[in-house]
Chain A
Amino acid sequence: MLDPYYLQQLTIGLSLGMIYALMAIGFTLIFGVLNVVNFAHGEIYTIGAFAGLLMIATFGPPLLAVLLVVMAVGALAGFGLERLAFKPFRRFSDEASMKSRAMREATLMSSLAMSIVARESLELIFGSQFQSVDLSYLINKQIQLGPVTIVNGDLIIFAVALVMFLGLQWLLKYSTIGLSIRAVSNNPLGARYCGINTDRTIILTFVIGSVMGALAGILVGLYYGAIYPSMGFTPGIKAFVAMVMGGLSSIPGAVISAMILGITESMATSVVSSVWADMVAYAFLLITLVFFPQGLFGARRERV
């Protein structure tokens, strides 16, 4: 029988992993389609959290309403982000230039710039410290489950992550939207010749990914009771790590890697001080990158 202490750590790790997964799903979706790193995904998450915070502070509606508004804000933010930071660099829509190095690096930097602007603006408006959240909204009510303690937030996050994951899988596999997303991700030019509106599909991908990001933001904010302008940075990195480990464009891969990451981190804190926990993610990232330079099952290097 496992030591209850480790069982508890495992549970904490699972819920941490779930949070990373929540973030990684949207991130991977965008990468898979456009082959670009969306550095501003972390800020979408922050914006989601702040949108929820404002809702709670001004109207105090039921939690479900808060989540719906957050999703709407996320959708809007994703749309805006795509128009501002990605569209201008998609001058040609053939596959070569859409997946070219130039496009990837330019959009990496433009989304990075956008993320700075968003984060710093939030800091200018709200200050860099933690925002106070109405305590009744926090999702940290304890629940005793045999030897381990969890909070209701764990269940909520688990449920949301599961719904998001399954919903997305369904969407991608069985709906026409999913079909066009997959087509664009495979071959943008070909998709266009088949009459798919690539531009709209890309926006849609951003919107879906950003809705998920924003939702993750508010849930985690309420889970920890910590909402602040730079809250998106670390989860953003973790999502990236999960994506790289999981094989770059595989959402199930990213989810599994996020869980591994969460569990490893929480296990690591039983050995070393918790301030070093982030080291685990970076080490994972480097190891994956070094031994699988293109990600675990990532795209091949262009041919000579």
Chain B
Amino acid sequence: MTALLELDGLTRHFGGLTAVDEVTTHVGQGELVGLIGPNGAGKTTLFNLISGFTRPSSGAVRFKGEEITGLPPHQVAHRGMSRTFQNLRVFPNMTVFDNISVGALGALGVGAFQSVIGGRKRSHEISERSWEMLERVGLNEQANDLAANLSYGKRKYLEIARALAMEPDLLILDEPAAGMNHSETAELSQFITELNSEGLTIMLVEHDMSLVMGICERVVVLASGRKIADDTPVEVRQNQAVLDAYLGGDDE
């Protein structure tokens, strides 16, 4: 298995706090990797470091064998990585369709000039792809509704669909199941496994243990910024360091 994403000694300080501390791991092509850890463990920060939203204090990120450390987010995205946000960020005053189209046009690119004359082929591609994603997450009925008017669960799917419309090689999901009930979570985990089985590499942060343990092949555990385990779900569940981190409370 070739590594799609490699993290090498990734570290980030915020003032005196080390939010991510010397994290080294990798994500192989086609893998579905879970990232867990207590609140404030540095999971979101790690995602921000990977996707270019935060610059690492030291360490390197390699994606498809190329170094992407310190690249701005849009360039990281262009290389085939797309992400969702922990606190659900759809474009509220745009329609559902327009939301998704931003993912597609971000990846394909649109120019000011071609939007005035010509550019039919490109726009055709964008709308094809957007419709495809809409159908995929079952939002085609609501294509013309404002995103702000969707239910919470649907907005979550919208955000994922928007990220998928970029047709990424690596999808990073930050707590996709937060705020969902049991059946919704089950449905979501079904969806994620489905995406993965189609060959999409996924990295996911989640607090819902049953989701992570149920679908991930490998789980990375962070505590206070440090990686304390990186193993199969079964092993992680029995790992003493992990149990301590979760049950022993803060050791800071």
Q: Do chains A and B touch in the complex (CB under 8 A)?
A: yes
Q: Which residues does A use to contact B, with CB under 8 Å?
A: 304
B85 in the interface (beta carbon within 8 A): yes
Q: Which residues does B use to contact A, with CB under 8 Å?
A: 44, 48, 53-54, 85
Chain A residue nearest in CB terms to B51:
A304
CB<8 Å pairs between A and B, sample of 5: A304-B44, A304-B48, A304-B53, A304-B54, A304-B85
Contacts of B53 in A (CB 8 A): 304
Contacts of A304 in B (CB 8 A): 44, 48, 53-54, 85
Among all A-B residue pairs, the 5 with the closest Cβ atoms: A304-B53, A304-B48, A304-B85, A304-B44, A304-B54
Instruction: Quote the shortest CB–CB distance from B1 to chain A (angstroms).
Output: 30
User: What is the predominant secondary structure among interface residues of chain B facing chain A?
Assistant: loop
Chain A residue nearest in CB terms to B73:
A304
Instruction: Quote the shortest CB–CB distance from A232 to chain B (angstroms).
Output: 35
In the complex the two chains form, what is the Cα distance from A304 to B53 in whole Å? 8
Chain A residue nearest in CB terms to B86:
A304
In the complex the two chains form, what is the Cα distance from A304 to B49 in whole Å? 11
Contacts of B54 in A (CB 8 A): 304
Instruction: Quote the shortest CB–CB distance from A218 to chain B (angstroms).
Output: 45
Contacts of B85 in A (CB 8 A): 304
Instruction: Quote the shortest CB–CB distance from A303 to chain B (angstroms).
Output: 8
Instruction: Quote the shortest CB–CB distance from A97 to chain B (angstroms).
Output: 14
In the complex the two chains form, what is the Cα distance from A304 to B54 in whole Å? 9
In the complex the two chains form, what is the Cα distance from A243 to B48 in whole Å? 32
In the complex the two chains form, what is the Cα distance from A304 to B85 in whole Å? 8
Instruction: Quote the shortest CB–CB distance from B221 to chain A (angstroms).
Output: 22
In the complex the two chains form, what is the Cα distance from A304 to B84 in whole Å? 10
In the complex the two chains form, what is the Cα distance from A304 to B48 in whole Å? 8
Instruction: Quote the shortest CB–CB distance from A302 to chain B (angstroms).
Output: 10
Chain B residue nearest in CB terms to A304:
B53
Instruction: Quote the shortest CB–CB distance from B111 to chain A (angstroms).
Output: 27
Instruction: Quote the shortest CB–CB distance from B229 to chain A (angstroms).
Output: 26
In the complex the two chains form, what is the Cα distance from A304 to B44 in whole Å? 8
In the complex the two chains form, what is the Cα distance from A181 to B48 in whole Å? 35
Instruction: Quote the shortest CB–CB distance from B89 to chain A (angstroms).
Output: 9
In the complex the two chains form, what is the Cα distance from A304 to B46 in whole Å? 12
Chain A residue nearest in CB terms to B53:
A304
